[in-house]
């Protein structure tokens, strides 16, 4: 496809209002939002054993709580993302954060399965807007050559949230009861929502590429139609969804695995597994973002190749951790998959933002998140719970062990989709860069800073020269 290079003189974006120091402040606030997001989402994993005992639940019922969360999450993700592409994202983020924090706290007053399921549905409804809004704002604050790193900083909120959720949840549940744990992790989110409203500014659309994008947001059908034409996006979304199915399933059930198989208490699991997940996740998320940006300067296919390799390496180590005879050996073996399992979060998020035209970014992020959570969070924990009962081993842990061993094989399937998607990635990144430039030309506002590079030519996610082939 022939590149569209803008040479016209156009309106200038006011970048002085968003200096580098302030951009990184906003990134830190978004990171803390992600921490709260995953504390509230995954707190159930460390509390599910005492909840199961008090309410007399089966493994399938415990797993179905994640399915309830997911149905409301995916049901509202696209409408909220569509709204985010049309309105003030800062305000929406504060509202969504308030909703999921309040509903997390209300989980602590549930008296039965149905009340707890209703509270988890509310958490899912609030969190549905979180990721698309954060991805879209980061894409406007940080240019493509630094976007994978910035999104990986945001993604560090996942392991940090998991760590704090397991540690705080385990300690509070063991000493004060599982109900109070929901209040302790939920209510602080209301304070963060106020900080967002008071200190975070809404960035202009297209700020990071110096391509101002005005006008109306595209319709849902237009966004889906464009994304469907991108083979790299289709395979990325399916691959990420399958990988998330394994990740969410094992994260949800590993605490129960150590309680049932290795006779750990809930507090001990939280104090050991929580810090390990946090340290490994920090290494995996930020390391993968920096490494991906560097490797992609030579070949942009590395964005998805790296995700594929991480799955191929992680799978056998997870299997060995599940069959290990000692808990210490199991923790050591599982540490490697903990690192590698976090590589896809920031990297795939950056690729999606590069594949989506500026005015479609929140919806594109929501579409990927929808697939990821519908397949991953919706099916992963439930399938393990169902298989655990199917193997008819009761609460001995053996049924749970075999259920998890069956699920992790899906990682290889995910890797295949990443490899296929990588074949088409460079050409389709270039195609979207051309669309962004063409849209800016129509509005008469492209290339706003005379000294800035063009929309193509010097950015990691969309750099090519006429002499290069589509495969980079």
CATH number for 419: 1.20.1250.20
At residue 472 the predicted structure's pLDDT band, cuts being 50, 70 and 90, is very low
Distance of CA 270 to the CA centre of its chain: 22
Give the chain's length: 472
Choice among 119-123, 329-333, 450-454 with the minimum mean pLDDT: 450-454
* Residue 340, domain extent: 24-205+216-461
Helices (H), 356-471: 361-371, 378-390, 398-408, 410-443
Q: At what angle do helices 302-323 and 266-296 cross, to 10 degrees?
A: 160
Q: Give the dihedral of Cα atoms 128, 129, 135, 138; nearest 10 deg.
A: -150
Banded model confidence at residue 211, pLDDT cuts 50, 70, 90 = low
Six-digit token string for 253: 């059930």
Q: Is the pLDDT of residue 79 over 90?
A: no
Average pLDDT over residues 334-342: 88
CA 308 to chain centre: 17
How many domains are contained in the chain? Answer: 1
Residue 10 has pLDDT above 70, yes or no: no
Distance, in Å, from the CA atom of 447 to the CA atom of 55, rounded to the nearest integer, reads 61
Q: Who wins on pLDDT, 227 or 102?
A: 102
- How confident is residue 440, by pLDDT bands cut at 50, 70 and 90? low
Give the per-residue pLDDT at 463.
Answer: 41
Q: What whole-number distance in Å separates Cα of residue 189 and Cα of residue 43?
A: 14
pLDDT score of 356: 85
Domain assignment of residue 140, yes or no: yes
Q: Minimum mean pLDDT among 150-159, 243-252, 261-270, 442-451: which range?
A: 442-451
Instruction: For residue 263, give every residue at least 6 positions away whose Cβ sits within 8 Å of its Cβ, in sequence order, or none.
Output: none
C-alpha distances in angstroms, 48 versus 109, 170, 247, 338?
15, 11, 17, 21
Is pLDDT at 336 greater than 70 in this prediction?
yes
As a whole number of angstroms, the distance between CA 402 and CA 261 comes to: 12
Q: What is the mean pLDDT of the chain?
A: 82
Mean per-residue pLDDT, 20-24: 86
Look at residue 33 and tell me if it is in a domain. Answer: yes
Using pLDDT thresholds of 50, 70 and 90, give the confidence band for residue 459: very low
Nearest of 414, 419, 417, 413 to residue 305 by alpha carbon: 419
- Structural domain includes residue 273: yes
Rounded average pLDDT over 392-413: 84
Q: In the chain, what percentage of residues exceed pLDDT 70?
A: 86
Alpha carbon separation from 136 to 202, 218, 345, 361 (Å, rounded): 11, 15, 15, 6
Task: Write the CB contacts of 358 (distance below 8 Å, at least 6 apart in sequence).
Answer: 205, 206, 209, 211, 213, 436, 439
> Does residue 405 have a pLDDT over 50?
yes
Of 119, 124, 35, nearest in space to 74 by CA = 124
pLDDT at 185 exceeding the cut of 50: yes
Has residue 178 been placed in a domain?
A: yes
More confident residue, 94 or 349: 94
Nearest to 432 by CA among 361, 349, 345, 344: 361
Handedness of CA 209, 360, 357, 367 (dihedral sign): positive
Which pLDDT score is estimated for 445? 45
Contact 152, 345 (CB under 8 A): yes
Q: 3-class DSSP state for residue 469? A: coil
**Least confident residue range of 190-199, 294-303, 384-393, 455-464:** 455-464
The answer on pLDDT for 308 being more than 60 is: yes
Instruction: Write the DSSP symbol of residue 200.
Output: P
Q: Is residue 254 part of a domain?
A: yes
User: What is the mean predicted confidence (pLDDT) over 395-414?
Assistant: 88
Q: For position 343, what pLDDT does the model report?
A: 78
Are 51 and 178 contacting, i.e. CB atoms less than 8 angstroms apart? yes
Residue 282 within a domain = yes
312: its two tokens: 């191929």
Q: So what's the pLDDT on residue 19?
A: 78
Sign of the dihedral through C-alpha 442, 446, 448, 450: negative
Residue 407 lies in a domain: yes
Kindly state the average pLDDT of the residues 71-78: 86
Q: Is the pLDDT of residue 469 over 60?
A: no
129-143, 160-174, 417-431: segment of lowest average pLDDT: 129-143
Q: What pLDDT is recorded for position 16?
A: 61
pLDDT at 419: 95
pLDDT tier at 444 (50, 70, 90 boundaries)? Answer: low
Residue 11: inside a domain: no
User: What pLDDT is recorded for position 422?
Assistant: 93
Strands (E), 87-235: none
In the predicted model, what is the mean pLDDT of residues 385-414? Answer: 85
pLDDT of residue 216: 60
Q: Give mean pLDDT, residues 119-141.
A: 89
> Mean pLDDT over residues 276-295, rounded?
84
């Amino acid at each position: 496809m022939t590149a569209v290079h803008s040479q016209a003189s156009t309106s200038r974006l006011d970048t002085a209002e968003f200096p580098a120091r302030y951009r990184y402040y906003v990134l830190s606030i978004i990171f803390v939002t992600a921490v709260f997001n995953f504390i509230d989402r995954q707190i159930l994993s460390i509390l599910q054993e005492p909840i199961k005992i008090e309410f007399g639940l089966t493994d399938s019922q415990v797993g179905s709580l994640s399915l309830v969360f997911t149905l409301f999450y995916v049901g509202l993700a696209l409408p909220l993302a569509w709204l985010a592409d049309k309105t003030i994202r800062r305000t929406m983020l504060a509202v969504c954060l308030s909703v999921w924090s309040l509903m997390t706290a209300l989980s602590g007053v549930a008296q039965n399965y149905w009340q707890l399921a209703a509270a988890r549905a509310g958490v899912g409804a609030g969190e549905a807007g979180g990721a698309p809004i954060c991805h879209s704002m980061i894409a406007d604050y940080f240019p493509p050559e630094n976007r994978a790193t910035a999104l990986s900083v945001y993604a560090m909120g996942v392991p940090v949230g998991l760590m704090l959720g397991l540690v705080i949840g385990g300690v509070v549940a063991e000493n004060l009861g599982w109900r109070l744990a929901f209040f302790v992790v939920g209510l602080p989110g209301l304070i963060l929502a106020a900080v967002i409203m008071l200190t975070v500014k809404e960035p202009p659309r297209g700020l990071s590429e110096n391509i101002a994008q005005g006008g109306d947001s595209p319709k849902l059908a237009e966004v889906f139609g464009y994304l469907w034409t991108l083979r790299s996006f289709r395979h990325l979304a399916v691959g990420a969804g399958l990988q998330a199915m394994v990740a969410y399933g094992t994260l949800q059930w590993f605490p129960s695995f150590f309680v049932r198989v290795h006779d750990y208490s809930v507090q001990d699991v939280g104090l050991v597994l929580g810090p390990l997940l946090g340290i490994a996740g920090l290494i995996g998320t930020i390391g993968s973002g920096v490494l991906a940006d560097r490797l992609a300067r030579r070949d942009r296919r590395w964005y998805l190749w790296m995700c594929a390799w991480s799955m191929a390496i992680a799978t056998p180590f997870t299997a060995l951790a599940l069959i290990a005879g000692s808990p210490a050996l199991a923790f050591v073996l599982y540490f490697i998959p903990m690192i590698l399992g976090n590589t896809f979060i920031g990297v795939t998020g950056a690729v999606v933002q590069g594949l989506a035209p500026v005015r479609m970014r929140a919806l594109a992020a929501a579409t990927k998140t929808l697939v990821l959570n519908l397949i991953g969070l919706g099916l992963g924990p439930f399938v393990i719970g169902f298989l655990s009962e199917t193997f008819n081993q009761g609460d001995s842990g053996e049924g749970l062990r075999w259920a998890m061993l069956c699920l992790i094989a899906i990682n290889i399937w995910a890797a295949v989709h990443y490899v296929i998607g990588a074949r088409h990635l460079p050409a389709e990144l270039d195609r979207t860069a051309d669309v962004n430039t063409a849209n800016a030309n129509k509005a008469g506002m492209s290339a706003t800073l005379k000294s800035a590079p063009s929309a193509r030519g010097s950015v990691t996610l969309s750099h090519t020269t006429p002499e290069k082939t589509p495969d980079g």
